[in-house]
Amino acid sequence: MRRRIFLGALGSLMTGGGGAAAQAAGVTMMTRVAYNGWPEAYRLANGTVEVIVVPSVGRVMRYGFVGGPNVLWENSFLLGKTAVPARAGGDWQNFGGDKIWPWPQGEWGQRTGRDWPPPTAADHAPHQAAVVGPGVLRLTSPIMAGYGVRIVRDVELAPSGTRVRIRSRLAKVRDGAAFPVAAWSVTQMPVPDLLFARPMAGTTLENGVKPVAGDDAPWKSVRRESGVLVLERPTARNSKLFFDADLLAWAEGDTLFTQRPAAPVPPVSDYEPGDRAQIFSLADDPNTPDAAYVELEMTSSKRILAKGESATLDVIWELRRLPNGQRTPAAIAALLTGL
């Protein structure tokens, strides 16, 4: 069946991310909706899964089975709020969801004059939304000060199944200093039962993992099953791992989320060791248990951009239901090995 796109109001969408009217499988519907206090959002749905994008905060805020829970983490204290540019060293509005930052983070200070929070155009500014194809929504950021680039993201939901393709570009629109830069996706998710990373062929790192410098907490377990790393996060302190990995996965109950580069997959030689993928774990807070989250992160390879050129990160998201008997670490690792 040919893909079709529908635009219009859908008042029946529940603001908590619930279901909408039934639709036929094999059709991607795109609808402007209100979502969790934001008056304007875009819902992409195909009868199996839905994706909700909120341009006013410049990110994807929901991905999940229709009528099911959101696999993206949302900050309940900021639902419906407007992004306010943060001062250097000031408060950071962490809305959650999925967004793009410039990589490497260690160069933010010399590019923007502040090490933290993230550059305003990437994280605290509304983005423009436009429909650019059947089932494809484009987000475009303001120009990022110090970089001379815009973030351009095409979010595309397949007409059936669970596949979402997100093509993210740092598009150079101004001449300026020449320095290497990469697109960096930051996908925040609720704390899961297990996390996984699949090391890339050709990695020079032991098990594809870069040793963590500094005083970050050690992970409870990093072990290998069927060629895939099975990770159990620390709970008492923040921690991060760096990987030469071509797939990251999150498993909670019967739901498996995977994120991987779209084909063709860039070789590990295009990256510095450990730059390809990262997983960050925020420490648990017993007073606000819903505030903890993890981040699944991927980067494009770094490029020195001339005006008109882009650094591009192209990733695929998928969701799977795990039947009873296939929710063990070994069974999930075996499944991920074959993807």
pLDDT digits (tens, 9 = 90+) for 121-152: 999 999 999 999 999 999 999 999 999 999 99
Asked if the model's pLDDT at residue 184 lies above 80, the reply is yes
More confident residue, 155 or 210: 155
Q: Can you give the pLDDT at residue 13?
A: 34
pLDDT of residue 213: 64
Q: What is the pLDDT of residue 259?
A: 98
Q: Give CA–CA dist 97/275, Å, rounded.
A: 22
**Domain 90-337, CATH:** 2.70.98
Q: Would you give the end-to-end CA distance of the chain in angstroms?
A: 26
Residue type (1 letter), 8? G
pLDDT digits (tens, 9 = 90+) for 86-125: 765 567 899 999 999 999 999 999 999 999 899 999 999 9
- C-alpha 324/C-alpha 321 separation (Å) is 10
pLDDT score of 69: 97
Distance between CA atoms of 327 and 24, rounded to whole angstroms?
30
Higher pLDDT, 176 or 237: 237
Domain ranges of the chain: 90-337
pLDDT value, residue 6? 30
pLDDT digits (tens, 9 = 90+) for 258-301: 999 999 999 999 999 999 999 999 999 888 878 899 999 999 99
Within 8 A by CB and 6+ apart from 17, the residues are 35, 36, 52, 62, 64, 69, 70
